[in-house]
Amino acid sequence: AQTVTQSQPEMSVQEAETVTLSCTYDTSESDYYLFWYKQPPSRQMILVIRQEAYKQQNATENRFSVNFQKAAKSFSLKISDSQLGDAAMYFCAYRSHNSGNTPLVFGKGTRLSVIA
Q: Spell out the SS3 assignment of 22-88.
A: CCEEECCCCCEEEEEEEECCCCCCEEEEEEECCCCCCCEECCEEEEEECCCCEEEEEECCCCHHHCE
Among 45, 64, 70, 113, binds another protein (CB under 8 A): 45
Is there binding between residue 11 and another protein (CB under 8 A)?
no
Among 3, 18, 26, 46, binds another protein (CB under 8 A): 46
Least Cβ distance, residue 44 to another protein (angstroms): 4
Instruction: List Cβ neighbours of 81 (8 Å cut-off, separation of 6 or more).
Output: 16, 17, 18, 63
CA distances from 52 to 24, 34, 68 (A): 15, 6, 10
74-113: contacts with another protein (CB under 8 A): 91, 95, 97, 100-109
Among 25, 35, 36, 75, binds another protein (CB under 8 A): 35
Among 28, 43, 62, 85, binds another protein (CB under 8 A): 43
Which residues here bind another protein, judged by CB under 8 A? 33, 35, 37, 42-47, 50, 91, 95, 97, 100-109
